[in-house]
Structure 1
């Protein structure tokens, strides 16, 4: 029999429900999270001043936990922008354009390249790196712009981002929410990411080809805007080619090092971040010469703006959900009862003792929570919640925490990370000059079907 639930547990549970409802109605959750932290702190400490301080302390705790992720993404964006501005990305990707001879090859090659590049640069920068070069090639061989957008979107914002095996931002957040090691989430997510990716991309490709045959989609010569010629002549063609070979080589060395030295989580993130900084410095000093010092700071500032803009909404909700795990004492300055194993674990134990939960119900509930939390168009703001819910259900079921956590992560990111929420599709839609709502409509059936099949597979893996 688990610990008897206190007012703190019930307040936490109430605010989880409120957060889900706010996300369902597309309302921002920051204020609800702050009120939740304050309410829990007030009950735990009985002090108004300590409760107000607890809000700030919880934000500090969350930022400390998230800072490596925010920083590495900011650096990668800075590096990606420097590659785009100096023309290195053109040289890097142009050889692949020679392989594209048909609409079918265009769809799958663009998708696979997007997936690979997104694994290292994240999807939004990868869209900028790829779209300007490969879109005209795809249009020339008969693949419509909407087909290019679908391929980049599903492979980048879907497959690559939901697994996030290189940067490991997503599994870090969900693992923290579930209270398990990052490596467990990564391992459990591999078969689910494969199933989700195969089902969605094949379905989307079939529907695209069907509508092309029926004449519902026509190819139009849409040419995206590119960087100015002045920027692209910062480096000579020789240097562009050198960097086009050097950059993937350095990242391949990172992957080899991760495998050989078993680097995961923060260690892997640090390696990728350090490599990205090194590449940025080399590009800046080679391209801008004496002005390279000032330009390096300029690009880093741009990257940091992007990083905090993306993760700004995540900090309040992450702060709230860290309360459910090991951060309670540090954030609030008070202790839970001695028999407590953390708020989420206590709730899971209580649920197990009251209701016989099946793995089928647990899987569909966690997937549903992931979908709901993705409705805000972020994808990342709610994956801590998905991890917490997965932990709760795994305690009730008795096992399967890693699989449930991975399932929640995949559902949240596929929905909110940029495949079916229109305002999250803007990067891919903009570079391809297609309507974001049309792209969302095209992705809807493949993603829903993929989520259903992936959830069913997860049930067998729990």
Structure 2
């Protein structure tokens, strides 16, 4: 039985298009989301005070839903600062320097290392952990700094972040918006992430080698190669070499143990996040106390503050837009109350059922639409602020098609993060561009064709998986 679409449904649709439009124009969507929440609340309740309160309540609901994700990312960034400051990351990476003998090995070694480290530390901290140490080695092996930046971008901000299998921040946002279990999104994203990653990185390597052979891309004498992270911090002797080696071995062993525990104990979602977060806190405390001794208590707090500043800076733009899209599903009842029509299945499900009765949508149309919507949401350069929209649109299309919610959600997530998470939008490329001393606009231009090729192939593959 189809529920009759009301003013609430149409307001929700109008604001979805407004949010997409503002993203295309590269404008902030926070005020648009706030106005949308207010209009939906006042239309549903007829009460000005209730509508005003709903704005605050929606933010509180969104923060509550995202808090574990914000916390774990903040803690991991804090821990990564201790590794960089003490020089432990230099020792962790040093064995891989022997593999970097030529440009080909430099590209793939740095890329794969960046992907693995980004799964546990997230890409932005991983750039600092990896780039400062291996950039000089890669340049000496014949890979231009631009090629190093491409490898770090495509494997870290692309492959690792779009799947986000360990920290699970991205699938948490999209699965909540789509109203499906987080594990369903992760499972559906695995083949798509593999296809997108392989196609994009191979295409990027092909174009990179072609331009190097033609002489279009060369190592410039003016390329500045930074020293190690510990040297730049001005504190290279906080730990002895033996202590650095101990911690360089302990950190990956603990995280590998976490992954094993997740598999054996079947830990997913919040439980997996809590395990990673708790391990990171223990590592942070242990290294801080060992390195700074008397000042260890204060330095631990200092590192945590830096991590929390980073976490809330990244998720600040996400909270308002997530608050709006939570209204499309179960969040409506908790934020505004029982003001939907009795036969309603939630705003998004109602719209999907209505769309299915009007337009005979196909899985091909759904896949192309989710890729386009995901790419558009990434235009703000965050990669995360709009993926709730991708989840909501995926739920809408899945209801209309009758299947494929997880695959469509994963596809929208991948498109959003590849475009906005740090591979195409110049202002999102700044961390990698800065550490490699290259122009972020040139880096974005280099990434464009491989990423577009990857999105096209991945969208076609998704059509067969729906």
> Unaligned 5+ residue runs, structure 1?
none
Aligned to 2:118: 118
Aligned to 1:171: 171
Give per-residue Cα distances to partners, 1:266-309, cap 9 Å, x unaligned. Answer: 11000000000000000000001111111111100000000000
Aligned to 2:242: 238
Aligned to 1:223: 225
Aligned to 2:450: 446
Tell me the SS of whatever aligns to 1:208: helix
- The partner residue of 1:317 within 315, 321, 326 is 321
Question: What TM-score results when the alignment is normalised by the length of structure 1?
Answer: 0.99
Residues 82-101 of structure 1: pairs in structure 2 closer than 5 A? 82-101=82-101
In 2, Cα distance between equivalents of 1:366 and 1:232: 48
In 2, Cα distance between equivalents of 1:216 and 1:386: 38
Aligned to 1:253: 257
Aligned to 2:102: 102
Deviation at 1:226, TM superposition (A): 4.2
Could you tell me whether the CA contact under 8 Å between 1:44 and 1:334 is conserved in 2? no
For the aligned residues, what is the CA RMSD?
A: 0.8
Tell me the SS of whatever aligns to 2:99: coil
In 2, Cα distance between equivalents of 1:35 and 1:358: 33
Aligned to 1:266: 270
Give per-residue Cα distances to partners, 1:109-165, cap 9 Å, x unaligned. Answer: 100000000000000000000001100000111000000000000000000000000
Aligned to 2:341: 337
In 1, Cα distance between equivalents of 2:21 and 2:303: 39
Deviation at 1:318, TM superposition (A): 0.1
Deviation at 1:228, TM superposition (A): 5.2
In 2, Cα distance between equivalents of 1:355 and 1:81: 52
In 1, Cα distance between equivalents of 2:178 and 2:124: 27
Deviation at 1:33, TM superposition (A): 0.1
Give per-residue Cα distances to partners, 1:49-90, cap 9 Å, x unaligned. Answer: 110000000000000000000000000000000100000000
Aligned to 2:202: 202
Tell me the SS of whatever aligns to 2:432: helix
Aligned to 2:43: 43
Give per-residue Cα distances to partners, 1:210-247, cap 9 Å, x unaligned. Answer: 00011011113530254454422111111100000000
Deviation at 1:334, TM superposition (A): 3.6
- The partner residue of 1:405 within 409, 431, 452 is 409
Aligned to 1:25: 25
Could you tell me whether the CA contact under 8 Å between 2:86 and 2:230 is conserved in 1? no
- The partner residue of 1:305 within 304, 309, 313 is 309
Tell me the SS of whatever aligns to 2:235: helix
* 1:428 corresponds to 2:432: yes
Aligned to 1:212: 212
Deviation at 1:336, TM superposition (A): 1.0
How many matched pairs? 462
* 1:382 corresponds to 2:366: no
In 2, Cα distance between equivalents of 1:144 and 1:390: 40
Moved over 3 A (4+): 225-230
Deviation at 1:338, TM superposition (A): 1.8
In 2, Cα distance between equivalents of 1:10 and 1:228: 56
Aligned to 2:129: 129
In 1, Cα distance between equivalents of 2:40 and 2:432: 41
In 2, Cα distance between equivalents of 1:422 and 1:37: 31
Could you tell me whether the CA contact under 8 Å between 1:2 and 1:346 is conserved in 2? yes
Tell me the SS of whatever aligns to 1:232: coil
Could you tell me whether the CA contact under 8 Å between 1:224 and 1:433 is conserved in 2? no
Deviation at 1:347, TM superposition (A): 0.3
In 1, Cα distance between equivalents of 2:404 and 2:226: 46
* 1:52 corresponds to 2:58: no
In 1, Cα distance between equivalents of 2:57 and 2:228: 44
